[in-house]
Every structure is written in C-alpha cells, then in structure tokens.
Structure 1
Amino acid sequence: MNNYPEKTCQIDRLVCHPKLVAAALSGQKTQQRRNGVYGYPGETFELEGTTFTVTALEQQSLGDMTDADAKAEGYPNLDAYKELILRMHAGMTWNNDSQVWVHFFKRND
C-alpha cells in the first residue's frame, strides 16, 4: 500500500474548468496535475452527473511531462499546456524540477 500525504483540497475541485470538464466527459482527459493531493486511488468524483474514479496517484516533476501527458490533460501538446498554465498563474515560471501530483482517472460507464 502507498503512503500518500494528506489531501490539500477536496476531490470535487480536481477538474473544474468547463473546457476540461468537457474533455473528461468526452474521454480526452484522463489526468490532472495539481500541486497537492486532491484524491486517492479508488476515490470517485462526479462531473455533470457522470462518475469518475481515480485509478492512480503519482508524484512527477514538470520536466518529466511529455506531449502524451499533455494530451491526457486535454491539451493538443506540451507547449499548449505550458502556455495555458503560465497564463493562469501570473508570475509563475516553468521549473522542470517542480514536483506535482498526477491524478489518473477513468470514466465509470
């Protein structure tokens, strides 16, 4: 069993932006990176009446992120993901060594 840190936010805040909710509902989005832990493997959350389950939780550095990861986040590529993240967080710089928690999830059909 993994020893995860205490949650920093509630799981219902994991995927919030309407475009990302739509991407998750369509099956395009299956990952969400956060600075903290929002949900543990096996935990469920709902988006517009559809239930999703967190399948895995891993810590990763931003520098390890690939184009495939960015697509699983709901973006066309890593450059588009970086651009949006930096726009959303004024004053932030992209630091390849920064650690984030990757929440992997799947839609329960």
Structure 2
Amino acid sequence: MNDYPEKTCEIDRLIRHPKLVSAALAGDKTQQRRDGLYAYPGETFVLEGVEFEVTAVERQRIGDMSDADAQAEGYPNLAVYKDLILRMHSGMEWNDDGLVWLHCFKRRQPE
C-alpha cells in the first residue's frame, strides 16, 4: 500500500445518495470525489447487495476534472456536476486549486 494518511471516514459512507447508488449499480458511476479519504485501494464496499472494490485512490485538484471525470461520477458533464456540488454545499466556492480525494472503483465479479 502507498503512504496514504489515516482515513477520515468509513468506506460505507463513500456513496450514500440514492441516485448515486443507482448510478454505481448501473455501471454509470465509477468514481467518487470527497474532501476526505474514505477508502484504500483493494478495500470493498456493498451497495444493495452488490460488492464493489476500490481500485485506485489519489489526490486531485478539483480544477483538473474533465467532462469525462464528471461522467465517471455519474453526471452528464462537468457543468452539471459543478452546479450540483455548489447547490449541495451552500456558501462553498469552486476553487480550482482545492484538493479532493479521488476514489475509483469497480463492481466485483462473483468468484
């Protein structure tokens, strides 16, 4: 394992919103950005009985996000993602230099 800091939250809180859970289950969501570190690579979590594995975790500037990243988050494009984030967090400003933790994941295949 790389030298990651201690987690700031438990992995079961990585994806909570019903629309995002549905997007992950449909295969439309494969990334989740958070202010804190919620998981390490190789850890698993379960959404509605389906197991997912965290495949990568990295620090990322929020300003480095692309439309493809927003789509991997389950949104049609970066503008929609940005608008939603700002509405969800009243008083927050979009700071391109702000750092987030990018959690990449995939559905685990039954063994």
Letter in 2 for 1:107: R
Runs (5+) with no aligned partner, structure 1: none
Displacement, 1:60? 0.3
How many pairs does the alignment contain?
109
Q: Deviations over 1:79-101 (max 9, x none)?
A: 00000000000100000000000
Q: Which residue number corresponds to residue 6 of structure 2?
A: 6
Report the residue type matching 1:18 in the other structure.
P
For 2:91, the equivalent position in structure 1 comes to: 91
Secondary structure of the 1:22 match is: helix
Q: Structure 2 unaligned runs (5+)?
A: none
5 Å-filtered alignment, 1:15-30, equals 15-30=15-30
TM-score normalised per structure 2: 0.97
1:52-91 aligned within 5 A: 52-91=52-91
Q: Deviations over 1:29-67 (max 9, x none)?
A: 000000010000000000000000000001000110000
Task: Give a deviation string over 1:4-47, Cα, whole Å, max 9, x none.
Answer: 01000000000000000000000000000000100000000000
Task: Report the Cα distance in structure 2 between the residues aligned to 1:33 and 1:19, rounded to whole angstroms.
Answer: 15
Q: Quote how far apart the aligned CAs of 1:2 are.
A: 1.1
Instruction: Report the residue type matching 2:12 in the other structure.
Output: D
Instruction: State how far apart, in whole Å, the 2-side matches of 1:7 and 1:62 are.
Output: 19
Query: CA–CA distance in 2 between the matches of 1:6 and 1:88?
Result: 26
Q: Residues of 1 paired with 2:5 and 2:24: CA distance? A: 25
Rounded to whole Å, the distance in 2 between the matches of 1:42 and 1:108 is 11
Provide the TM-score with structure 1 as the length reference.
0.99
